[in-house]
Amino acid sequence: RPAGGGAPSGTVTEHEAAAQRIHWRLPLSFQTTMPVLGDNPIYVTEMLRASSAGAVDIRIFEPGEVVPAFAITEAVREGKVEAGYTWLGYDQGRIPSAALIAAVPFGMEPWEFAAWWFEGGGRTLGEALYAKQNIHVVFCGLTGPETAGWFREPIESLDDVRGLKIRFAGIGGKVMERAGASVTMLPGGEIFQALEKGAIDATEYALPIVDQSLGFNRVASYNYYPGWHQPATSSHMVVNLDVWNQTAPADQKLIETACTAGVMRNLARSEALQGEIIAGFPEVGVEAHTLPDDVLRELERVTEEVLEEEAANDADFAAILESQQRFRASYAHWKARAYLPRDF
Amino acid sequence: MAPNEGLALLMFASFIGLVFTGFPVAWILGGLAVLFTALAIVLNLDFNFPFAIDWSYTSLVVDRSWNVMENWVMVALPMFIFMGLLLDRSGIANQLMVSFSRLFGGVRGGLAITVTLIGLLLAATTGIIGASVVLLALLGLPVMLNQGYDKALASGTVCAVGTLGILIPPSIMLVLMADRMAMSVGDLFLGAVFPGALLGGLYVAYLLGVGLLKPDSAPASEREPVNWATVRDLFVAILPPAFLILAVLGSIFLGLATPTEAAGVGAAGALLLAVLKRRLDGRVLREVLHETTRTTAFIFGVLLGATAFALVLRGLGGDELIERALLNLPFSPAGIIITILFATFLLGFFLDWIELTLIILPLVSPVVVNLGFDPVWFTVLFAVCLQTSFLTPPVGFAIFYLKGVAPPGVEVRTIYKGVAPFIVLQLIGLVIIFNWDALVTWLPAQAYR
Amino acid sequence: MELPATRFSRAVDPWLERIGQWASWLWVLLLAVIVANVVLRYVFGEGRIEFEEVQWHLYATGFLLGLGYALKADAHIRVDVLHERFSPTLTAWVELYGILLLLLPFIAVVLIFSVPFVCTSFAFGEISSSPGGLPYRWAIKAMLPLGFLLLLVAALSRLSRVWAWLFLGADAAPDEGFAETEGGAGRGAE
Ligand code: NA
Ligand code: NA
């Protein structure tokens, strides 16, 4: 087990065991070895253990070790495990609006999302949505944009998107499909091989540092930006509601505090580590490119279409989308004026 | 040792003991998961040990079974089994093997070498052990036995060669390891190429040696006079299998299909072949389909049982038990590597590769990397160890799968005997890779530049 | 060892056989879907995530419906190192205790907990989370309890036959139609 598992239960001394107030299993949906996306729970659980003098002992489990990666919310809901740390986008089959909390194409930027969650009513909506699932949800991690993907051939116009065989998940995948791409959902383990042999032309995956560690740069030399499909990606700790309600208020606050710190530290790590990777691209034969404006505009148009359709089908989706749009409209006044333009 | 770990050890021991009663492995695994949950509850472990298990925890077996159901990669398994059974029952396999073995003329052991070469070609598919062992067993075992091969030698060959698929890329095991270690799948794939070829080479050398020293256990096929007619016959006979191999491998390498889809393409190719050669009627097809269902079901029975077993074992703290045993090793760097590999090899007698990859690899890899060893080199060594674990009695899944489809008369004891020399070959391979790390590291350094 | 047929096994075994044989045609369907998907994608440049998902829907249905069928045919992976030296009576006792203490409890746990698993999916109208994926996820999830229900029936049928052999041995004649071949896993009675 990588560092961060903390003291294995077998080595906890009698004294410590007596003082322990919380002793949860925390299955993860990403490997802790995955930089930025996977390592944040190590930080959060260590913080909790240290700041509580060992009384809040939450033990992390790698994906599949106890709970399959995509089944975390459901296992927590049923109380099979006390808590989990996951990307809520995996729930969108059962809870369509979870996608809005997890990552939205052409959605909010990281600090914008944090502002909506903490100050703009997002947290109330998110907690209410998951309370219906018998789950208390705590915002616990946040990363910046992902890359728009790894391509074998350059993308110069919308024509290059049409017929493109690409692996793409979630709402972004729906958008790509509608824009004319041939979208596939190959299992994670086959992406590399399929891309290398040309069974697919492109794939979306994660942050540059993650993708590089997995070796995508070796089989596809065009890496595109900006990460339109995921301008911000949030992670949450999900806690069984009954377990949460039985938790002492002081410990609840401790967990919320550690998670809020986790959001900040996760974002800091996510922002800090990508530049060096992109700077090193020429050395490994990769070209970083920007998607043409007309492609982005078209993708944005399709995204709005898809989001509206989803909102028409699901009341929660409509409510959360409306809240996000309202917040963004007001935030736009500030965003457009206060910051230097990106090309300044 | 904490009481819950004592229970974990007891669970291990019960499995080993019960396996020898001859009750189906699948239900022993699943049943023990339930029994030990009950036992843990009855002993009131959760009173003192916060990580003890209850029914709610064990009910995760349902979520884990669902994870098996929705695993697209596993689609390859019934497809390869169908392909193997179809080639066997339609008589194409026999014809194929006989014509292939003519290539080796009077070489004693030639037939087993042919099986090895076909196995190496098949290894270029996804490498799901159950699928490749069953396929090779159906293709090669009856033919070798008919020609008078020693049962142990024939079944040992099939078992060992069938496991090579998981080492030779593409391989789901290497993908899982790359995922665990956050390392490049490509490096790992390339790193495993020469070690895989080396093991294949060792098998061939061994089979040639057996042919020379113990001619009775690997008799040669009848020598035929070589003339244009036999050459033409040979060519015609090799065309269909060549077409099949082309269908499977070609669709992968030309980027037409993923390795998983390639299994379906191969099965379709076999069906087409059987129809074209007029070897297929409704009765044969139905029989093949029925047997595909039964074989697929019993392999998945084992997978479902194993996932339940692993869940409960982990809940009882089986992981920590292994972890602690490995962590304080008082050796030199090379000594630590050897100890880790040796421990993996021993654990492989009891646990399957998924569990070992989940438990041990993330635990030891930081230690190994800190010692200055190449992580790809170490992971490939680890992978060879795990591949060996499929062959080691008493719990060797390759052995079980082979037993499942072997003709009557091939007992598990026979297979145990047959795999023994191959385990020795695996160990020789490990020593060679350990001493010449360039076998692993050279190819990744050359490619993609 | 040839187990005698019982009234219960005579009633259910033909059905297990029939269901297993019907399910077997799923492999042909699966093969066709895979080929269609490959052709669609690479000849017509059209990706179909529905077709990708149908593949594992078919394979999961196939192996789950096959569980009871395989048990009925006694097609299993087992270690026969000692087993083959057991007397038929000892083998029967192993079967009896194995079914009672290992197999039935395992089936019970999966059945008890998979029903709410399916109900949750149904209640939420769960669909695939992939773009263009399949709806009615509860239907494929329901294959898990269904498969284990068939396994339960097969286990009870076999239990009744082992029981008959052990305790009613002289009264029940072996039923030729369902006799097993020795260690005939995989190649069990067709
Ligand atoms: Na392989
Ligand atoms: Na083994």
Average of per-residue pLDDT across B42-59: 73
Does position A9 have pLDDT exceeding 50, yes or no?
no
What is the distance between the alpha carbons of residues A228 and A107, in angstroms, rounded to a whole number? 8
The string of DSSP letters for B375-417 reads HHHHHHHHHHHHHHHTTSSSS-HHHHHHHHHSPTT--HHHHHH
Residue B354 CA, chain-centre distance (Å), reads: 12
Neighbours of B93 (CB within 10 A): 24
Q: What is the pLDDT of residues A185-209, one digit of tens each?
A: 877 767 887 888 788 899 998 898 8
Average of per-residue pLDDT across B64-75: 88
- pLDDT computed for residue B127 by the predictor: 63
Q: How confident is the model at residue A306 (pLDDT cuts 50, 70, 90)?
A: very high
Residue B5 CA, chain-centre distance (Å), reads: 30
Size of interface A-C (CB pairs under 8 A): 60
- pLDDT computed for residue A262 by the predictor: 97
Q: What is the pLDDT of residues A76-94, one digit of tens each?
A: 999 999 999 999 999 988 9
- pLDDT computed for residue C180 by the predictor: 41
- A338 by Cβ neighbours in 10 Å (0-12 / 13-18 / 19+) ranks as exposed
R_g of chain A, CA atoms, integer Å: 20
Average of per-residue pLDDT across A288-297: 95
- pLDDT computed for residue B345 by the predictor: 79
Q: Is C157 on the interface with A (CB under 8 A)?
A: no
Q: How confident is the model at residue B251 (pLDDT cuts 50, 70, 90)?
A: confident
Ligand sitting nearest the alpha carbon of B350:
2
CB B244 within 8 A of CB B273: yes
Closest CA to A105 of A326, A315, A330, A324: A324
pTM: 0.86
Q: What is the pLDDT of residues A132-161, one digit of tens each?
A: 999 999 999 999 999 999 999 999 998 999
ipTM of the prediction: 0.89
C105–B71: do the CB atoms touch at under 8 Å? no
What is the distance between the alpha carbons of residues A191 and A187, in angstroms, rounded to a whole number? 7
Cα A139 to Cα A37, A245, A256, B202, C33, distances in angstroms: 14, 17, 8, 55, 42
Does position C188 have pLDDT exceeding 60, yes or no?
no
Average of per-residue pLDDT across B353-379: 75
Does position A168 have pLDDT exceeding 80, yes or no?
yes
Q: How confident is the model at residue B321 (pLDDT cuts 50, 70, 90)?
A: confident
Highest mean pLDDT among A297-301, B240-244, B323-327: A297-301
What is the distance between the alpha carbons of residues B171 and B177, in angstroms, rounded to a whole number? 10
C149-169 b/e with 16+ CB inside 10 Å = b? bbbbbbbbbbbbbbbbbeeee
Closest CA to B395 of B138, B18, B5, B9: B18
Q: Give me the helices (H) in B105-221, please.
A: 110-122, 129-146, 151-164, 172-181, 185-213
- pLDDT computed for residue A7 by the predictor: 36
Q: Which of C69, C78, C86 to mutate to test the interface with B (most CBs of B within 10 A)?
A: C78
Taking the centre of ligand 2 as the mean of its atom positions, its distance from the CA of residue C119, in whole angstroms, is 39
**Residue in A77, A173, A185 nearest the CB of C52:** A185
- pLDDT computed for residue B326 by the predictor: 65
Phi, psi angle pair for A262, to nearest 5°: -60, -40
B284: three-class secondary structure by DSSP: helix
Does position C175 have pLDDT exceeding 60, yes or no?
no
CB B170 within 8 A of CB B124: yes
Residue B177 CA, chain-centre distance (Å), reads: 16
CB B55 within 8 A of CB C108: no
A62–B63: do the CB atoms touch at under 8 Å? no
- B233 by Cβ neighbours in 10 Å (0-12 / 13-18 / 19+) ranks as middle
CB A228 within 8 A of CB A108: no
Residue with tokens 């490049």: B184
CB C184 within 8 A of CB C74: yes
What is the distance between the alpha carbons of residues A49 and A52, in angstroms, rounded to a whole number? 5
Does position B3 have pLDDT exceeding 90, yes or no?
no
A31: three-class secondary structure by DSSP: coil
Q: How confident is the model at residue B56 (pLDDT cuts 50, 70, 90)?
A: very high
- Taking contacts as CB-CB distances below 8 angstroms, the residues of chain A near B176 are 189
A263's torsion region: left (phi>0), alpha (psi -120 to 50) or beta? alpha
Q: What is the pLDDT of residues B131-154, one digit of tens each?
A: 788 888 888 888 888 888 899 999
pLDDT: which is higher, C45 or A305: A305
Does position B74 have pLDDT exceeding 50, yes or no?
yes
Closest CA in chain A for residue B56: A80
* Percent share of chain A, pLDDT over 90: 69
Q: What is the dihedral sign for C-alpha A308, A310, A312, A318? A: negative
Closest CA in chain A for residue B73: A187
Q: What is the pLDDT of residues B157-206, one digit of tens each?
A: 999 998 888 888 767 678 777 766 767 777 888 888 899 999 999 999 99
Q: What is the pLDDT of residues B367-409, one digit of tens each?
A: 777 777 888 898 899 889 888 888 888 778 888 889 888 888 8
Does position A211 have pLDDT exceeding 80, yes or no?
yes
Beta-bridged to residue A151, according to DSSP, are A202, A222
Q: Provide the edge-to-edge strand list for the sheet that holds A165-167.
A: A182-184, A165-167, A202-203, A149-151, A222-225, A287-290
Mean of pLDDT over chain B = 81
Does position A46 have pLDDT exceeding 90, yes or no?
yes
* Percent share of chain B, pLDDT over 70: 84
Q: Is C120 on the interface with A (CB under 8 A)?
A: yes
pLDDT: which is higher, C10 or C168: C10
Does position C145 have pLDDT exceeding 80, yes or no?
yes
- CB neighbour list of residue A301: distance below 8 Å, 6 or more residues apart: none
A272-297 b/e with 16+ CB inside 10 Å = b? eebeebbeebeeeebeeeebeeebee
Token pair of B186 as six digits: 């490509």
What is the distance between the alpha carbons of residues B406 and B144, in angstroms, rounded to a whole number? 12
- pLDDT computed for residue A14 by the predictor: 44
Mean of pLDDT over chain C = 85
- pLDDT computed for residue A120 by the predictor: 96
- pLDDT computed for residue B101 by the predictor: 65
Which chain C residues in 5-64 lie under 8 Å from chain A, judged by CB atoms?
41, 45-47, 49, 52-53
Does position C13 have pLDDT exceeding 80, yes or no?
yes
CB B141 within 8 A of CB B165: no
The least confident of A114-123, A284-293, B128-137 is: B128-137
Does position A28 have pLDDT exceeding 60, yes or no?
yes
- pLDDT computed for residue C105 by the predictor: 98
